[in-house]
Amino acid sequence: KNEVEQSPQNLTAQEGEFITINCSYSVGISALHWLQQHPGGGIVSLFMLSSGKKKHGRLIATINIQEKHSSLHITASHPRDSAVYICAVKGNQFYFGTGTSLTVIP
Amino acid sequence: EPEVTQTPSHQVTQMGQEVILRCVPISNHLYFYWYRQILGQKVEFLVSFYNNEISEKSEIFDDQFSVERPDGSNFTLKIRSTKLEDSAMYFCASSDAVEYNEQFFGPGTRLTVL
């Protein structure tokens, strides 16, 4: 049973494209995190959300609590954005999605 | 910029041996976490730790696992008797005054059990 589902699993985009990664969850949560995992394995926290929308540079994250859904958008994608993007939620414990592998081609 | 550090970067051990993975969280952080990621699989939560005690733990964190903050800086994960299936990347993370606030992750320790 997957408490967190992400789509798509894999995504290839041309540089400059607008990208959306989706996350749906099935448990009650107090917060949702978007993480970036680099090809070398390191993990970086991008956003923590409990409601609404957050923006940081070219990254935008939104959450709809009623629909149990969040999206991560990347505007003007760049090859350095190539990574695995992971959605994680804090329910009665911390649950992770399987990640979306993004490749941005120059 | 402050960062979370982990040692060793790679640990190889024989099945049945005890291993201790070490982490130095960011100095003013209060919440500490261990996660693991088996190769090719998703990240899994193991345990969170606050005020010198476990806050939450997952089903994975059984009696073979323990955590400790032996001094003011280190945070350790001990696996008492390693199994082959413990082979994974283990990540430590820390966050400041709010539990499950933005977390800062260490680079990970790759544990290989032979």
pLDDT tens column, A31-71:
999 999 998 889 999 999 999 999 999 999 999 999 999 99
Question: Which of A30, A41, A96 faces B42 most closely, judged by CB atoms?
Answer: A96
State yes or no: pLDDT of B99 exceeds 90: no
Cis peptide before A8 (omega within 30 of 0): yes
| B97 pLDDT more than 90 | no
Q: Which residues of A touch B33 (CB under 8 A)?
A: 94
Per-chain mean pLDDT for chain A = 94
Give the tens place of pLDDT for each residue, B42-65.
999 999 999 899 999 999 999 999
Q: Using pLDDT thresholds of 50, 70 and 90, give the confidence band for residue B70.
A: confident
Give the per-residue pLDDT at B73. 86
B93 to chain A, closest Cα gap in Å: 10
Residue B2 has pLDDT above 90, yes or no: no
Query: Residue B35's closest CA among B114, B81, B100?
Result: B100
Across B76-97, average pLDDT: 95
Share of chain A above pLDDT 90, in %: 89
CB within 8 Å: B105 and A99: no
Distance CA A19, CA A100 (A): 11
Beta carbons of B95 and B35 less than 8 angstroms apart: no
Of B48, B89, B104, the CB nearest to A45: B104
pLDDT at position B112 over 90: yes
Residue B23: CB atoms within 10 Å: 26
Count of pairs with CB atoms under 8 A, one residue in A, one in B: 53
For residue B102, pLDDT over 90 is answered with no
What is the model's pLDDT at position B100?
66
B65 to A97, B76, B84: CA distances (angstroms): 24, 10, 15
pLDDT beyond 80 at B101: no
- How high is the pLDDT of residue A2? 85
Encoded tokens for B84: 């082959």
Q: How is residue A18 written in tokens?
A: 């607008």
Residue in A99, A97, A89 with CA at minimum distance from that of residue A11: A99
